[in-house]
Amino acid sequence: MSHPHPELSDPPEPPADGLRIVALGGLGEIGRNMTVYEYGGRLLVVDCGVLFPETEQPGIDLILPDFDYIRDRLDDIEAVVLTHGHEDHIGAVPYLLRERPDIPLVGSRLTLALLEAKLTEHRIRPVTRVVGEGDRSTFGPFDCEFLAVNHSIPDALALAVRTGAGLVLHTGDFKMDQLPLDGRLTDLPGFARLGAEGIDLLLSDSTNAEVSGFVPSERNIGPVVDEVFRTAQERLIVACFASHVHRVQQVLDAAVANGRKVCFIGRSMVRNMGVARELGYLNVPEGIMVEPKELEDVPADRLVLVCTGSQGEPMSALSRMANRDHQQIRITDRDTVMLASSLIPGNENAVNRVINGLTRWGARVVHKGNALVHVSGHASAGELLYVLNMTKPGNFMPIHGEWRHLRAHAKLAALTGVPDENIVIAEDGVVVDLVEGKASIVGAVPAGYVYVDGLSVGEVTETSLKDRRILGEEGFVSIVIGIDSSSGKVVAGPEIHARGAGIVNEDFDEVLARIDQVLRDAAGDGVNDLHQISQLVRRTVGKWVSDTYRRRPMIIPVIVEV
Amino acid sequence: MSHPHPELSDPPEPPADGLRIVALGGLGEIGRNMTVYEYGGRLLVVDCGVLFPETEQPGIDLILPDFDYIRDRLDDIEAVVLTHGHEDHIGAVPYLLRERPDIPLVGSRLTLALLEAKLTEHRIRPVTRVVGEGDRSTFGPFDCEFLAVNHSIPDALALAVRTGAGLVLHTGDFKMDQLPLDGRLTDLPGFARLGAEGIDLLLSDSTNAEVSGFVPSERNIGPVVDEVFRTAQERLIVACFASHVHRVQQVLDAAVANGRKVCFIGRSMVRNMGVARELGYLNVPEGIMVEPKELEDVPADRLVLVCTGSQGEPMSALSRMANRDHQQIRITDRDTVMLASSLIPGNENAVNRVINGLTRWGARVVHKGNALVHVSGHASAGELLYVLNMTKPGNFMPIHGEWRHLRAHAKLAALTGVPDENIVIAEDGVVVDLVEGKASIVGAVPAGYVYVDGLSVGEVTETSLKDRRILGEEGFVSIVIGIDSSSGKVVAGPEIHARGAGIVNEDFDEVLARIDQVLRDAAGDGVNDLHQISQLVRRTVGKWVSDTYRRRPMIIPVIVEV
């Protein structure tokens, strides 16, 4: 369990006419958003995303929500509503569908199209239901209304859920761009209408709750992109998220205006932009695209490459270019590189390495640190206040955020007049019941990390990770000893092997002598239990390493019986 | 070698009347600053600092400059000049003195006092020579003049070096606070005087060359600190660098003004503030200090704790408080915590974890993200232009910075009129000769990372680190097999052990069968070379892990002869 709640116990049975809300992810962390609503014995799941690992989870590919809470009740799920197509909201769906493939997936046209492209790679054909803003649909006891919200991906939706327990507004991720490129505003009038009806509980995006003021419009980036196009000496390389359709649209528009051809680089960029184009979310002017194999035919100053890698991912095309490791593209001092994206916390080092690498070869690097080439996808404090004031919720629960963001958002809610006792700050697994217009914490369920590593899901445990952390920091020393099973005498070894411990083979003479002595003493004392011998060896070697090197590698005695 | 220069070859013999400059650290990186000047066969070293490891150097304590370039010439060193007392400028001195203990150390009073306190812990009694601003001293052929510079530690100095090859100004770290708390300004008039005399080469601090504008005065922090004191509900905890005397002074002043007692927590804070107080750099009002053991006797709202840990160091008192792991101090929602320091790149995750931990328990956390509780110690671009314009250098070499900072600083120099051909951007190990008023790159020498890990220096190699990275990401699988030395038959095992690989013991049956088969086949084919058998086993297990789990742990076959 990543977030134990020693102070909270198992929850009681759900109240007869209450709505139960349990987030299995997204509270106390940014990522793997998943909220389970329960009413009248039926479940509605909102979002099912992944969390990307940090350095504390070495070797891990993805972190999923723990489905244990609903594993025995998969048949009770009426639907999974996906608010938008980002990985931290849809990425865990393939893993949930492995457990019950016919759970209905509900979302907007683009959201479902992106999800289906992904599910195809997992060889899953899902049951889907497209909805749009203004739609109202019933899933079992859940009467759902969908509202448009603006975000850094098109076609995002907020969700209003009506049950016998009242009206809940779940915003999903959103921002409040008042001049959005596609004209699709966050539906504040709709929020106001629901507020007038009486919102019993508001769950709202906390990502930027600590940031004061207002997020600039995506529109402000256009002139900056244009300026970079105009001043780029020769080749231009733009890195951004593979889902940021509007950002890519701005690059395409600038390419047309400046007479450059565009080439998409990388699987996810090609796939997502293909989906967006097909559905009409991305307008690709005739004849502007070139294929990677045609790059040689286009003069460098007539070219713009669009790729991922803006987070410094080591295997990305951009990282390989920065290391002069890329087969096709060799960075020179005539190149301009634009990182047109945010810097996700945790990736600072990796991005810095890419910027330094590109700079080393003389490229001009434009990034959010030196130009307005990115605006956040999440509403800031000033904008969150609008939502709170328009919705006037009876109860408030901040979602999508770490502790610092949840607390900051709670403070904003209090400032707009939500009574302290009606503000619920919960972590993953905390059980919140909405009964008779009052939301309260009633217990907690396990909601630990489930690790995806290679093909395995959930098999890599905290113990494995602890081993990895020790091995990664200190390496190991193993001691192999063969013991005759009848006589108990040492017949082979001890042999010592060290890896990553910074100890070279020549250093082993002294400790081998010590082990020999310990084994002789043990034999003299009549010790013949293999486990005991193993412990003696471990202590001897551990002490030697600690005294000699002040280090604590993993010590692994292996006693084989011959 | 961390920065190989395949394009550069061994340098020629130093020119007869030229000055040779080789940075062994600090170019292409922020940290382990060390520059070696050579003239007439004699050496002058400026600074000798450490670099703190990143996640790519797991388990490493410190990274030193590679002394190989000067190892055979230690007796040629006239002096080591230390520009100020930060670890990235003095931290490697103990390791250099191990090789020749009587190298004269030259620096300001505080710099040498901090260094001596550190050397005492290493049981070294150095040869020192105190200098101050305005002093001019000769070390062999190096005629050195010292000038005051303002920085985030008191008593920092710039260095002007005159030799037969001309006049060089080496700024060290500096900023340009025009209203410094101690009234000690960066000596711009001195820079101007040297400029009028004719500076042949300027080496200047590039850390903030990418940041436009000007750094606010340290004085601006006072009112913010005061406000935090006034609004802190009960206990106040301030975390900052253990060397930031002026910051601590502001806390002491605010404590007096607000009637609070102060307690220093942590060895380095106690040691450094003791030194600063003794030398008169820190003014500690009578009766304001309390000892940790007296904390119980002071009411929480009359108390301020000053500790380190502002970078999220996992073993620091502050991290332990954030985890509710600290023996004495238990964070509650009545506590206020102020992180009054910068966020060193690479520490973002760790600091975020501390802020979230403290916030989780309800503490109010004030940090540079939400209040002006820190200003940088390094001049920004706007200020660097002043220095360039005042010194009018014949040649310019940016120092103290990663590639992005060096290139940005070079661009500033070009804008002020330094001709492109007189701007030298070098990395660690690049050899620069100043001859007849022209600085040029003439070659390169090795300047790789030297790792300190526990008691060993330089023994942990890139190979060990590569092993650690694999072990840390993927764990390992070892296979022990006992083979009879005369018959060549397997007499023990195979036994398999996996750690950190996410493979549980129950999974081994299949691969054990495969190994058995491989061993039988090998015996049938008459293969009895242990190395060959070992390779067969490695391949078998590696393929099994890859097919079954899509992972690549380290595979370690151990064949013991019985």
Among A residues 452-491, those touching chain B with beta carbons less than 8 Å apart: 453-456, 459-461, 464-465, 467-469, 471-476, 478, 480, 482, 491
Best mutation target among A315, A404, A496, A554 (most B Cβ atoms within 10 Å) is A404
Q: What averages of pLDDT result for each successive group of 10 residues across chain B (562 residues)?
A: 60 94 96 97 97 85 95 97 96 96 97 94 93 97 98 96 98 95 94 97 97 92 93 94 92 95 92 94 94 92 94 88 90 94 84 93 92 93 96 97 96 96 96 97 94 86 88 89 77 83 78 84 78 87 89 88 78
Using 50, 70 and 90 to split pLDDT, how confident is the model at A3? very low
- At A403 the three-state DSSP class reads helix
Q: Is B299 on the interface with A (CB under 8 A)?
A: no
Phi, psi of B397 (to 5 degrees): -135, 110
Say which range, A198-212, A380-394, B466-480, has the weakest mean pLDDT: B466-480
Amino acid (one-letter) located at A293: K
DSSP conformational letter for A422 = G
- The per-residue pLDDT for range A353-386, each reduced to its tens digit, is 999 999 999 999 999 888 999 999 999 999 999 9
Q: Quickly tell me which residue has 């090795």 as its tokens.
A: B446
Residue A286, min C-alpha distance to chain B (Å): 38
* Residues of A assigned a catalytic role: 205, 378
Please enumerate, by residue number, every residue of B annotated as part of a binding site for substrate: 242-244, 374-378
* A147, A157 Cβ separation under 8 angstroms: yes
* A410, A422 Cβ separation under 8 angstroms: no
Nearest CB to A404 within list B359, B407, B550: B359
Contacts of A554 in chain B (CB under 8 A): 499
- The per-residue pLDDT for range A216-237, each reduced to its tens digit, is 999 999 999 999 999 999 999 9
Amino acid (one-letter) located at A238: V
Find all residues with CB under 8 Å of A524, minimum gap 6, and list them.
Answer: none
* A85, A110 Cβ separation under 8 angstroms: yes
| Average pLDDT score over residue span A182-187 | 94
Residue B2: predicted pLDDT = 32
Count CB neighbours of B74 within 10 A.
14
Residue B58, min C-alpha distance to chain A (Å): 5
Residue A6: predicted pLDDT = 62
Q: How far apart are CA A537 and CA A232, in angstroms?
A: 65
pTM of the predicted model as reported, rounded to 2 decimal places:
0.88
CB within 8 Å: B502 and A453: yes
CB within 8 Å: A480 and B558: yes
Using 50, 70 and 90 to split pLDDT, how confident is the model at A4? very low
Q: In sequence order, what DSSP letters do the residues of A280-331 get, joined into one string?
A: TSS---TT-B--GGGGGGS-GGGEEEEE--TT--TTSHHHHHHTT--SS---
Q: How far apart are CA B312 and CA A309, in angstroms?
A: 27
CB within 8 Å: B560 and A480: yes
- The per-residue pLDDT for range A95-116, each reduced to its tens digit, is 999 999 999 999 999 999 999 9
Phi, psi of B181 (to 5 degrees): -60, -35
Q: Where does residue A118 rank: exposed (0-12), middle (13-18), buried (19+ CB within 10 A)?
A: buried
Average pLDDT taken over every residue of chain A: 92
Residue B1: predicted pLDDT = 27
Please enumerate, by residue number, every residue of A annotated as part of a binding site for substrate: 242-244, 374-378
**Does residue A42 register a pLDDT over 70?**
yes
- At B16 the three-state DSSP class reads coil
Q: Is B333 on the interface with A (CB under 8 A)?
A: no
Is domain A462-561 in CATH 3.40.50.300, yes or no?
Answer: no
Amino acid (one-letter) located at A220: N
Residue B381: predicted pLDDT = 95
Residue A202, min C-alpha distance to chain B (Å): 21
Cα radius of gyration (chain B): 28
**CATH number of the domain located at residue range(s) B19-213+376-452 in this protein:** 3.60.15.10
Residue A50: predicted pLDDT = 95
Q: Where are the alpha helices (DSSP H) in A39-197?
A: 68-71, 87-90, 93-99, 109-121, 188-197
Residue A144: predicted pLDDT = 98
Residue predicted with more confidence, A281 or B520: A281
Domain boundaries, chain A: 19-213+376-452, 218-366, 462-561
**CATH number of the domain located at residue range(s) B218-366 in this protein:** 3.40.50.10710
Residue B5: predicted pLDDT = 59
Please enumerate, by residue number, every residue of B annotated as part of a binding site for Zn(2+): 84, 86, 88-89, 151, 173, 400
- At B192 the three-state DSSP class reads helix
Complex ipTM more than 0.90, yes or no: no
Residue A76: predicted pLDDT = 98
Q: Parallel, antiparallel, or unpaired for β B336-339 and B236-239? A: parallel
Chain A residue whose CA is closest to B461: A502
Residue A321: predicted pLDDT = 93
